Amino acid sequence: MKVLVTGGAGLIGSHTVDLALEHGHEVRIIDSLQPRVHPRGKPEWVPGEAEFVQGDVADREDMSRALEGMEAVFHLAAYQDYMPDFSRFIQTNTESTALLFELIVSDRRRYPVRKIVFASSQAVCGEGCYLCPSCAGGIIPPSIEEQLTHTAHHLLCYPGKRYSSSDLPPHAIHVPRARTIDHLLHGDWEMHCPACGEYMRPLLIDEDTISPGTTYGISKYAIELLADRLGRRYSIPTVCMRYTYVQGPRNSFFNAYSGIARRFALRILHGLPPVIYEDGRQLRDYVNVQDVARANLLVLEDSRADFKVFNVGGGRAVSVSDFARIMLESFASELEPEVPGEFRVGDTRHTVSDISELRALGWEPIITVEQNVTEYVAWMREQRGTKEYLEEAERVMRELGVVRRVRAG
């Protein structure tokens, strides 16, 4: 197939391009080489076999040029950041999605697209899903690690992924709003029940959980709605992929958003301890970018995925502290992580997704977090000029009040 990959110079895009070429597809990329992600211009990993169009996905002319003759699209380009430029999330992420449909519908011969895979995000689920043991009359769910096994699903007595068992009163299941700044300033990290105020326990997040808490999350949920409604109306099969924490080589170390691996690795590489936000007990399901690329190709090529939304996660819960330890081990570093009582406004507490829907199509995350970190560290060591970017992103976030410190006393 002739496949367009938007954002094909980026982390997920470039690995998806490589795999699409391996699968025998003809690939065209459109990427604006956004300076925050690619301050040094077009990265050397963009393969010569793929046609490259430098352009903006929200620009009609650029998109029209890129889309001409394409039979499938991976729409992966996005604005993703912690910065308060809210309109840009909507313009780059959501408006470009509407534009994509607009062009295809305007001339089906010129733009013969038969399928679109969209990058959504776990951010659509906001804080995720919790059980309040107090509201549940004392029922305590198994740990997240146990919930990731089928036995524990059975233990909880909910069929697969809907928490509707008579053992679990529906009013005890909550999809809470973000924690208040006041709670965070007091170092009160865990989620409180919106009904009774007691502490809650995290549940796996399934695809029915929808509660975006940021403009980024809202822009992604709008993509899912457009993909479903316009896709069905115009018979263009779509699939939305809710990636969790994607890690691996080519994860831009320039961009503040690019996350934990970059933040920790840059510091350790330059002899500084990794700085952990909150208390380090936050759980996440990190997933390797090659596993993500395999998921992307699978849903493109398998019509059972049409018009569905899938979680794409690692299938294992790892705390932020454990992630720091794994990275220190990978560097063979004797440094100790620092926990200075800082937090980042907009971060979620526990985010571990239920990946059973994608597993049912035959996908499995196969690269462990340890391998993932080792690969990233090896790649990071080969990069030049990393020092100049070391603290810049965090300085900017501090200035904008995104990173804050717990109040003394």
Ligand X SMILES: NC(=O)c1ccc[n+]([C@@H]2O[C@H](COP(=O)([O-])OP(=O)(O)OC[C@H]3O[C@@H](n4cnc5c(N)ncnc54)[C@H](O)[C@@H]3O)[C@@H](O)[C@H]2O)c1
Give me the helix-helix angle, 11-22 and 289-301, nearest 10°.
Answer: 50
Enumerate residues 234-293 that contact ligand X by CB under 6 A: 243, 245-246, 252, 255
Q: Which of 92, 214, 311, 330 binds ligand X (CB under 6 A)?
A: 92
Enumerate residues 17-76 that contact ligand X by CB under 6 A: 30-34, 37-38, 56-58, 76
Q: Which of 7, 212, 217, 315 binds ligand X (CB under 6 A)?
A: 7
Which residue lies nearest ligand X, judged by its C-beta? Answer: 10
Residue count, binding to ligand X (CB under 6 A): 30
Measured from the CB of residue 270, what is the shortest distance to ligand X in angstroms? 22
**Nearest to ligand X of 77, 373 (CB atom):** 77
Establish if 318 lies at the interface with ligand X (CB under 6 A). no
C-alpha separations of 195 from 21, 202, 213 in Å: 51, 16, 19
Establish if 296 lies at the interface with ligand X (CB under 6 A). no
**Nearest to ligand X of 57, 402 (CB atom):** 57
**Nearest to ligand X of 28, 38 (CB atom):** 38
For residues 251 and 287, give the distance between their C-alpha atoms in angstroms, rounded to a whole number.
13
**Nearest to ligand X of 119, 227 (CB atom):** 119
Measured from the CB of residue 215, what is the shortest distance to ligand X in angstroms? 12
Establish if 95 lies at the interface with ligand X (CB under 6 A). no
Q: Which of 79, 130, 277, 323 binds ligand X (CB under 6 A)?
A: 79
Answer yes or no: are the C-beta atoms of 205 and 125 closer than 8 Å.
yes
- Dump the DSSP string for 137-191: TT--PPPHHHHTSHHHHHHHT-STT----TTS-GGGEE-PPPPPHHHHHTT--SP
Measured from the CB of residue 138, what is the shortest distance to ligand X in angstroms? 36
For residue 247, what is the enclosing H or E element? strand 245-247
Query: Which residue carries 């992600």 as its tokens?
Result: 37
Establish if 209 lies at the interface with ligand X (CB under 6 A). no
**Nearest to ligand X of 57, 265 (CB atom):** 57
Enumerate residues 102-131 that contact ligand X by CB under 6 A: 119, 121
Structure tokens at 120: 């959504």
**Nearest to ligand X of 29, 173 (CB atom):** 29
For residues 277 and 335, give the distance between their C-alpha atoms in angstroms, rounded to a whole number.
17
Answer yes or no: are the C-beta atoms of 331 and 376 closer than 8 Å.
no
Measured from the CB of residue 89, what is the shortest distance to ligand X in angstroms? 9
C-alpha separations of 269 from 38, 240, 272 in Å: 21, 36, 7
Answer yes or no: are the C-beta atoms of 92 and 133 closer than 8 Å.
no
For residues 163 and 168, give the distance between their C-alpha atoms in angstroms, rounded to a whole number.
7
**Nearest to ligand X of 249, 280 (CB atom):** 249
Start-end of H helices in 69-126: 86-89, 96-106
Establish if 12 lies at the interface with ligand X (CB under 6 A). yes
| Residue 314 phi, psi (nearest 5) | -85, -10
DSSP count for the chain of H helices, then E strands: 14, 16
**Nearest to ligand X of 33, 155 (CB atom):** 33
Binding site for ligand X (CB under 6 A): 6-7, 9-13, 30-34, 37-38, 56-58, 76-80, 92, 119, 121, 243, 245-246, 252, 255
